[in-house]
Every structure is written in structure tokens, then in C-alpha cells.
Chains A and B, each alone.
Chain A
Amino acid sequence: MQNPSESNPDTQRLVVTCVVQGTRCGVDAQSVQEVVRVAHFTPVHHAPDFVLGVMNLRGRILTVMDLAVKLNLGRTAVTADSRILIVESQGEPVGLLIERDSGVTEVAPPDMRPAPENLRRMYGALLEGVCLINDQLIAILNLDALLGDDRGV
């Protein structure tokens, strides 16, 4: 497998794709540790509203967030298809609740394009760009911007 890296735009990159409230999103596979089924999580009262709670992942406590809330798409209802995407962000794992996991896709640089103006206005830095795979639009998320600051404004 090639090692996709931002400094080398010529190589293909792997993107973990998922569905968030009906929207196809993608996250660079490099920052995804694993995808797990939704297990018990403990609610954290007074936490920002995008935080669903904290869960135990093999002895590490990680914050679980609703990706949909982060993207202003409402709340994700937990179903049998729901998964938690474990991503690495600034050295700590964070769980992202998604509607369903839709596998790993290779994205070649030509497929990537900047987000259209209207999308960019809505999501700003949260979107790294979009790409068209099999005529399907995938919004590639910028995890750093999404999870960047402490309280996730």
C-alpha cells in the first residue's frame, strides 16, 4: 500500500468513507485507527452538544462525538448500522459516531477538487475538498479543523 501523504500530492490516498445523515463523507485513512460498533458510552453532562459521551476503548477513555452535529446536519440516530470511527487527533483518539460505514476508497489526485462555493460557505475549513467516485460526491473532511480546538466551536 502506498503511503499517502499530503506532501506528495501525486500519490493516491486512501479515504475511509462513511455516511453522516445521508451525506457521504470521507476521512483520510491515515488518521483513522479503526471502526468499531457502537458500545456503551457514558453521557457527560454539560459537555458541548456535539459530545455524546465517553467510552472505554481497551482501557483508554475517549470522547465520542456526533459527526452530524459537528457538521450541522442534526443528530445521528443510533441503529444497528451505526459505527464509531476512531480517529487520531492531536495525539489522542476521538470517536466519531456515523450513520454507517461505507468502506475504504482510493482517491487519485485528479478526483479531488476544491469544495464548491456554497459548500465552502457552509462548512468553511471543515471541508478539505470534495471528490467524485463512481459519480458519487464524497465530502472529504478536514479532521484538524473539525476537532481542532478544545471546545470545538
Chain B
Amino acid sequence: MSTHEDDALLNEFLAESHEHLAGIEADLLTLEEQGANADDNLINKVFRAAHSLKGGSAFFGLVKIQELAHKTETALAMVRSREITPNPEVANILLLAFDKLRELINDPAGSNDTDISEQVVALTGLSSSYLPPGKKESLTSHSEVTFGGGRIALKLPSFDLSHQLDSGKFLSLLRLDLIHDVERAGRTPLTVMQDLMALAEIVDVSVHLEAVGSLEDEPANTIPFDIVLSSLFDAASQDSLAEMLGLPADHFFAMDEAPPTVPATAVPVAPSIPTARPAPALDLVPTAEVTPMAESRADTRREPAAEPAAPAIASGLAEATLRVNISVLETLMNLAGELVLSRNQLRDALARRDELALAASSQRISLVTSELQEAIMQTRLQPVGNLFGKFPRVVRDLSRTLGKEVQLELDGREVEMDKNLIEGLSDPLTHMVRNAIDHGIETPAERTRLGKRVPGLLRLRASHEAGQVVIDISDDGKGIDPARVAASAIKKGLITQEKVQSLSDPEKMALIFLPGLSTAEKVTDVSGRGVGMDVVKTNLDRLGGKIEIESQLGHGSLFRIRLPLTLAIIPSLIVAAGDERFAIPQSNVIELIRVPADSLQERFARVGEAEVLMLRGELVPVLRLASLILRPRSVTSADAGPPGLPTPAAPSDASVVLVSDNGIRYGLMVDQLHNTEEIVVKPLGRHLKHLREYAGATIMGDGKVILILDTAGLAAKAGLTTGMGSGGQLPAAGGALEAPPSDVHSLLTFQNAPGETCAVPLELVLRVERVAASQVEMVGGRRTMQYRGVSLPLVTLADTAKVESLQAGQDWAVIVFQAGEREIGLLGALPVDVVETQAPIDGSTLRQKGVAGSALIRGQTVLLVDLNDLVDAFFPDAAAFRLERTAGTGRPHTILLAEDSDFFRAQVKQFLLADGYEVLEAPDGEAAWELLQDNAEKVEAVVTDIEMPRLTGLGLTQRLRADQRFARVPVIGLTSLAGAEDVARGKAAGINDYQVKLDRDKLTAALRDLFNSNPCLVG
């Protein structure tokens, strides 16, 4: 390879080549579509691309590019002369050739060492299969040609030679001196060639570097540069050609007469073409088409089309630069000018201390700034079409490889997105399109059998929605079978059978995002390459995107990607909770509502802990920002008192921001409303990325950082969902992987042994006290302490469970809870803290006596203490406590408790038992119903969770109400924060009362009321 004396020149060539290659793919696909009626202009365009590549690469000594470009050109020349019809086979070979060219151009330095034989063989085969038998050899042989009466002799590819001469052209040779004719004349070889190409076709180019000689060879300061031209100018009219090009006529040499049209003296040349390549077997993919190209077809097939256009995407060159519309650039220049002017005005005004002028220039600067900002943003925005553009090719290649027929529909190409997002989306989108074709759309035969349309439909659609970009990938294929996904996940050990049972269908489908899961029955070359949907999800996560799945078995699937415009500058509403400020993206804000203090009572209603706002006759769920976000202070000392949530402020006007995100609408009650500001969204560091409450952070005018709220994340945290079945809303794919969407629960955490964090439900805790180890007495083998004048029994987790013992020699925390009538203290080490978490509770892995389960909280595994077990183990007589209460009223009431979470069930059962009830438990509605059949006489009330597998709480209630025996049994629904709609639905189903999950006092009070006010129920 020759040295690249002039890097700038090479770069120019490479940039130009990129430009040439940019539209090729689409053009070839169009040609393929047009077939025999291919548009001449389009063919010429593609031809010119190959042609310029050939010319340029020859100059730079990029021999492989030259060779491949040349072969491509040869084939295209035959397309141009209508000798070859661009059918799919032909298009395939050409597409692959251009792919390779692109790959070579991206790595010019390594290109000469790249193996291009596969493409060359395919192209040669293509061309030769259309040539008459006698001419076939011309493709691989060279003929000797002489110019200027034998003065210059060259070897030219025989095919080119005969092709040119056959079409009535004349060949001539232009010998330029790179030093005198080009360099000193202020030209570059590229401009010279461009000029030439306007008038003639360049057949071959060669530079004779060997003529340069060494430095000592004084006179030899010429570098001969030979260009073989094919034009309509014969030997006689050559001078006029020279004149038109502005080159000396004596540089031109006409070709000598009587060249051998068919190379009699053909020299077989095969630099890198293994012609005797064994034909590979054709058994890989069945084909329906018959083509005349026996030789090439094998190679077409062998080239795995599964990675179409991949080299094009991986282009490193494209990422570093950005094409900006000239008009945008002009705008930027103008604005920069404006800015300078405004600065001068400002200086002037300051110098004169002219208030009015100051105000004016401030206004001007703010105007210019916002325009500047907009213009700069524009430079970053690109139409999604740039991204979609590659999919016709991807889809075409894939469907051919897989023997499927797919029609691709692209919508919303004009939707603009930030450049970074477009680049980041490329891979995930490609993968999902691959999946849709590989796993989604059925084979034509299968579709015909099912009475479905052939070809199958694959649709990519981009749109803007509430400040987000939404990209849908939908197909009308076979859909995703939740059962199969789940089965596969179990088989691969990614999830347990038990967990799967509690998953809803959408949650099962979301399992495809688990690493290492592939639902394809066999790993195909196309999709099963070790990267799966988990990578897609990771990539999207990185972009701040979310993905949702909707699928109907047999009818197709929809993957919906939502991307926030996090890279943008967004208008936001600034609010405050306590004395902290937060930003809410304006795109999520519907309206601001101020409720005067005197009408708080009428406007707000409470359902359990859930608050709703009456808004124009509608009930809107309300969340309090302060209680949702602000974390209660850690309890680390005795005087800190019992832990609790911040109390609502004293009655004053209430400010509610009505927000909408992800299809959920709710009111966010804030302590203060500030102004609206344009903020620059900055990402949070990776240690904070996982917090769903925040979408990022921004820096305010005073230099302080404030956090941007993620309204969807807040809703999810508070347990607000749109409810399944309401249509349109898709389940988010996140969190659902490990457990059903879980409720927010408040836990009191404490240390057992160092590093061993434990937790108890906050609702069960009466008080937390700090004690010195010396205060703890051992009496009769049991720990007690003097507390408020009585002796408080003390337990530790280590007493029951196999955990480390509490370390002595420090102060302890005593967590006081109620067991029946009695108070019991649980000893733990400091610090004690309160966390609110939605982390799913794993009731199996670490389950043991005394430990109800575990949860991952703030990155730490926390053991959930089963107070029941502790009490049972140490105070076997505790059961007697429980029964004390009911002793007076005869036999205890029996309550049927249906709850799918083992943890919650155990907790609720514990405080029901403590209150003296007898409890029958069921892990779902169906089991509850069965239990009822056996205990029809006994059960006096039902406490049920709403969301449960098999049969929901609503379903259970409906069954009860429809049955004579149970129609009057009171039902209490246990719920996390529920929307007004849910409450209404529950009431309609026959639920008597709603209680917030794990609010012990309220639930027991409600039950007590129930039995007291309905004496008839007490059998």
C-alpha cells in the first residue's frame, strides 16, 4: 500500500465516498422493486458511486476497494445496459458488495488486508452468468492494450475493454504529472478526475510511484499518473477533449487500433479470486425463486444476511460529526451577532447606570438566549427517518433468510429526536425488528393455513406524546405466549414455579427481559446470538427509556418504547415540599388547583388512607408530595419518640398540581407553588439512577441543585396504577419481574448483628426506646426490663431464628409491640430507621422460624422479622392472651383472610389473632372460596386483598354475593392506595369497606365496629 502523503486528500475521498454510499441501499431496494423497469437515473447514480470509489481508491493504492468497486461497477454497467435485470438475487449481491465497500471505507488502512473474495466471486458470477459463453472469461482476464502508437502499454480488464468498445466508445490515455499538472496547477487528483468524469468515463487509473526515484535523482521530479478514459472522442477529436479539460493535448494518447475484442492473448489473472471455490451446499434456506445465476447463488446464500447493514451502523466516522443545515448555521451566526450587540448595550447601560436601558438589554439578552438555545437544539435534532431508513433493508434481508414474507410500514419518519437518542436506539430497534420477524411473523404457509394475510405486517411508528417520543414496533404475527415465556424462564432457572404462579399474563411476558431467556424453540442464526431482550432493555434504560409489551396470542405483539426528552431544556413548574424545592416537567402538568382552606372539607375525601379530590364532579386521587418524598428522620436516640410520618400541615389553602403521566392522572399536593422555569435536565449520578422518584436534577439560578420529579415514578411508588383492563394502558415491564406489583410498606429497620439489618412493619410498632445493656435483666431464663413501672418481656431475633446474636456492650433499641393485651420488646442494635419501600418481599429464600422473609432495600438484604414466631416461641401462653379478649363474648369470631403475599398474610393474621379472632387463611380467591365451602357456617367476615392470582378479591366478593349462604357476610377489601374508580368498582362488586393494607388499628377498629353494629352476624 502506498503511503498517504496527503491525509487531507484521503479524508476528502473518504468523506465523499461516505456521501456516495449513504443513499445506495435505498436506491438498490428501489431498483429491485422496479425490476425490469428500473429507472435509468437511479442506475446511473448507483453506478457513479461504484465508479468514483474505484477511481479514488486506485489513486490511493487501496487495491481491495478498487477491485471490489470495479467488480460492482462491472455488474452495474450490465444493469445499465439492460443486460441484467435487478431482481432480488441481483440486488442481494449488490447490497452485500456495497456493505463490504462501506466496511472497507470505514477502515481504509486495513482494507488491503481484508478478504473480499466472497463478494468478488459473487459479482463475477453474476456478471458472467449474463454474458454470452464466449465472453465469460473476460471477467477474470486482462488484455494488453497500447496507446500512442505503442508508447505506453497497459493491461486492462478484458471485460471493461470489450464493454467500452462494444458500446461504441473510444479509449484514450491521459498521462498527467502529479507534480506539474496537478499540484503546481493548484488542482488535486480528485478535482481532475471529477472534471474528467463530466466528459468521459474513467476505465482505469494508475500512479507510477516507482518513477519518483530517490532524492538524489535530480531530474526525475515527476510522478506519472495514468488515466484510461472512455469517451465519444476518437483519436482525431482528442484535441478538443484536451481543450475542454484545460489540459495540454500532448498528454493524451489514443488507443492503438485493432485491440483484441475477445482476449486472444488473455492472461488469466486471479489476484484474490479463488475461482475454483467449491460450491457450498444449498440446503440452508429454502428458496422459491429461480434465478439464472447458478454460480452466484450459493455465495449469496452463504453470506449470512442476518447481520444486514451492521457495518454501516458501526461507522465510527459518522458519530463524530454532525450535518447541520446551512440555514440553521446562519441563524446561529446571526444570533451570535445579536448577542455581541446586546452585550455592548449592557455594558453601555451599566456604564451610564441607566435603569431603563438595563432593563431593555436584559430583555434583549433573554430573547436572544432563548432563540440561541432553540437553534442549538435544532442542530441536534434529527428526523427518526434517519433511523428508520435502514429497516427496509433489514426486513428484506431477514425475511429472505427466514423464508418469510413481510411488509414493512414506516410511520412518523418526520418526528425529530435528539441525535444521541437516535444513535442509541439503533441497536435495540434492530434487535426488536429481528425478533418480530424471527419469532413473531409466521411463515407464508402457516399464515395461509391460519387464514391470515400474506405478507405479514410489521409496523414501525414514531410519534410525540406528552413530551415523550413514543416508538411502536408492532407485528401481526403469532404473539407472545405468556405460558411459554414463563415455562422457559422456569426451565432456565430464572424464576421459581411459585413465583410464576402469582404472575399475571403481562408480567409473564415481561419475563422476556430477564437476562438469558430466549423463547425461540431453536436458537436461530437471526435472533439467538446471545443477546436478547435484556440487552434491549439495558440499552433503553441507559437512554432513560421504558418499554412496554402488549400481545395477543395469535394476533400479534406491540412493543412500545417511550423515551423522555431528557437531553432537552424543558419548561418546568417549581414547587416546594417542606422547605425543599422540586421541579415538575411542564409536559406532565395539566392544571394547578388551589383549594381554599374553608372548602378543604368538601373538596377532599378520604377512603382509608387514600385521599381523593373532587374536581368538577370527578374523583381524582391525591398524593401528598411531602409525605411521599420527605423521609422521616432516623430514630437514633431515646428522646426521638416514636417514629412516624410527617403530620399534615395545619389547615391552610391547599395547592394541588394535577399531573398526567403514562396514562395516570392524579393530584400532587404541594406545600408551595413557585414559578415556571426553563431548566436544563442533568442526569443523576449512577448511585442515584435507580430512584424512581426523580427524573434528574437541575441547577437553579442561585447555583443550588434541585431534583426533577418523575411523576410516573411517584405514582408507581404510591401504588397508583390505571388498573388492568381499563384499556390502552400497558403494564410497565420493570419491577414486575420478581413479584406482582407490590405495595408501599413502611418498615422500621434495626440492626441485629453488625451488617445484619432486620425490619418489622412500622404499623406493628408501638414505640421505640433506647436502653443500655445494663438495664436488661435476666429473670428465669428470660430477658426483661423495667419499663413504665412494669416488667417488659424482651426477645431477640437470635432467640428464635438462626442468626447472629446481638452484640453486647452497646446501647440497644427496644422495639415495643403488642401481643394480645401485653406489650413485648424486641431488642435490636442501633441505628433504627424508617424506610418506605416497594421492594418485593421474598418469602421463601431466607424464610425460617422468626424470619418472615427478606427484601432488598437500598441495596441491602433486610430480614423481615416474624413477630408471630417470636411471640409463639417464647411465650407459648401468648395464645391465651389473645383469647382473653373474646372470653367474655363467647366463642371467637372467625375471619377468612385471603391474601396472596405470604408476608402480608402473616402480618394481618398476626394482628387479627392478637385481637382475638380466629383466622382461616387462603393464598388466593379460589382457595378462599374452597375454604368457605367447608366452613360455610363458621366464617363471619371476609378480609381480602384485591389483586390476587386465580381469583381476585372482586371476583371472590361477586361469588359471595351471588350465593345465598354468603350474601350477607361482610367483606373488607385490603388495598394499597386505590383510585376512586377502583373503590367504586369494589363497592359495586359488594365490598363493604376498604382498608389500607397493614394499617392495623383501622382494620381492627373496622372489624370491631362490624361485629358490634351487626349483632345478628355474631352467631
Q: Which of B648-691 contact A (CB under 8 A)?
A: 682-691
CA distance A51 to B687 in the complex (A): 8
Could you tell me if B687 and A152 are in contact, using CB atoms closer than 8 angstroms?
yes
- Binary contact track A30-49/B, C-beta < 8 Å → 1, others 0: 00000000001111111111
Chain A nearest CB, measured from B416 CB (Å): 26
- B637 vs chain A, min Cβ distance (A): 13
Report whether A61 and B699 are in contact in the complex, using a CB–CB cutoff of 8 Å: yes
A94: contacting residue among B630, B683, B685, B706, CB under 8 A: B685
CB distance from A64 to the nearest CB of B (A): 9
B277, CB-defined interface residue at 8 Å? no
Contact check, A63 vs B859: say whether CB atoms are below 8 A apart.
no
Q: Which residues does chain B contribute within 8 Å of A23, judged by CB atoms? A: none
Q: Is A112 an interface residue (CB 8 A)?
A: no
A143 located at the interface, meaning its Cβ lies under 8 Å from any Cβ of chain B in the complex: no
- Whether, in the assembled complex, A115 has its beta carbon less than 8 Å from a beta carbon of chain B, the answer is no
Q: Are B705 and A45 in contact (CB-based, < 8 A)? A: no
What are the residues of chain A within 8 A of B754 when measuring CB–CB?
72
Q: Which residues of B contact A60 (CB under 8 A)?
A: 682
B580 within 8 A of A: yes
B705 touches A151 (CB 8 A): no
Q: Which residues of B contact A40 (CB under 8 A)?
A: 703-704
Is A147 within 8 A of B703, CB to CB?
Answer: no
The docked-state distance in angstroms from the alpha carbon of A48 to that of B833 is 12
B58 → chain A closest CB, angstroms: 43
> Could you tell me the distance between the alpha carbons of A127 and B573 in the complex, rounded to whole angstroms?
45
- Known contacts A42-B704, A45-B631, A61-B699; A54 and B688 CB within 8 A of each other: yes
Q: Which residue of B lies closest to A153 (CB)?
A: B859
Interface residues on A, range: 20 to 34
The complex places the Cα of A28 from the Cα of B685 at a distance, in Å, of 21
Report whether A41 and B687 are in contact in the complex, using a CB–CB cutoff of 8 Å: no
Q: Please give the distance in Å from A78's CB to the nearest CB on chain B.
A: 17
Q: Is B65 an interface residue (CB 8 A)?
A: no
Roughly how many angstroms separate A142 CA and B32 CA in the complex, as a whole number?
59
Chain A's closest residue to B697 (CB) is A61
A47 to B688, CA, bound (A): 6
Name the interface residues of A40-79: CB closer than 8 Å to any CB of B.
Answer: 40-49, 51, 53-56, 59-63, 65, 72
A88 to chain B, nearest CB (A): 12
Closest to B861 in A: A153
Partner of A61, one of B682, B686, B860: B682
Assuming A61-B705, A150-B686, is B580 touching A43 (CB within 8 A)? yes
CA distance A29 to B262 in the complex (A): 75
A54-B697, A55-B705 given; A48·B685 CB < 8 A: no
B208 at the interface (CB under 8 A from A): no
How many residues in B have their beta carbons less than 8 Å from beta carbons of A? Answer: 31
- Whether B687 lies near A45 (C-beta < 8 A) is no
Expressed in whole angstroms, the minimum distance between the Cβ of A75 and any Cβ of chain B is: 9
A42 to B689, CA, bound (A): 16
Verify if A90 is at the interface (C-beta below 8 Å from B): yes
- Whether B887 is near chain A, meaning CB under 8 Å from some CB there, is no
Residues from chain A with Cβ under 8 Å of B684 in the complex = 44, 54, 61, 63
Query: Interface code A81-92, partner B: CB below 8 Å = 1, 0 otherwise?
Result: 000000000101
Q: Which of A76-113 contact B (CB under 8 A)?
A: 90, 92, 94
B629 CB within 8 Å of chain A: yes
Residues of B within 8 A of A153 (CB): 859-860
Interface pair A150/B705, CB less than 8 Å apart = no
Contact partners of A44 in chain B: CB under 8 A: 684, 688, 691, 694, 707
Q: How far is the CB of A33 from chain B (nearest CB, A)?
A: 14
Contact partner of A147 among B682, B687, B688, B859, CB < 8 A?
Answer: B687
Q: Which residues of B contact A45 (CB under 8 A)?
A: 629-631, 693
Q: How far is the CB of A96 from chain B (nearest CB, A)?
A: 12
CB atoms of A56 and B690 under 8 A apart: no
Give chain A nearest CB distance to B830 CB in angstroms: 11
Given A90-B686, A92-B686, 8 additional A-B pairs, CB 8 A: A40-B704, A43-B580, A53-B705, A54-B707, A55-B705, A59-B699, A94-B687, A152-B687
- Measured CB to CB, the residues of A under 8 A from B are 40-49, 51, 53-56, 59-63, 65, 72, 90, 92, 94, 147, 149-153
Task: Give the 6 A-B CB pairs with smallest separation, nearest first.
Answer: A151-B859, A63-B685, A153-B859, A45-B631, A42-B705, A61-B682
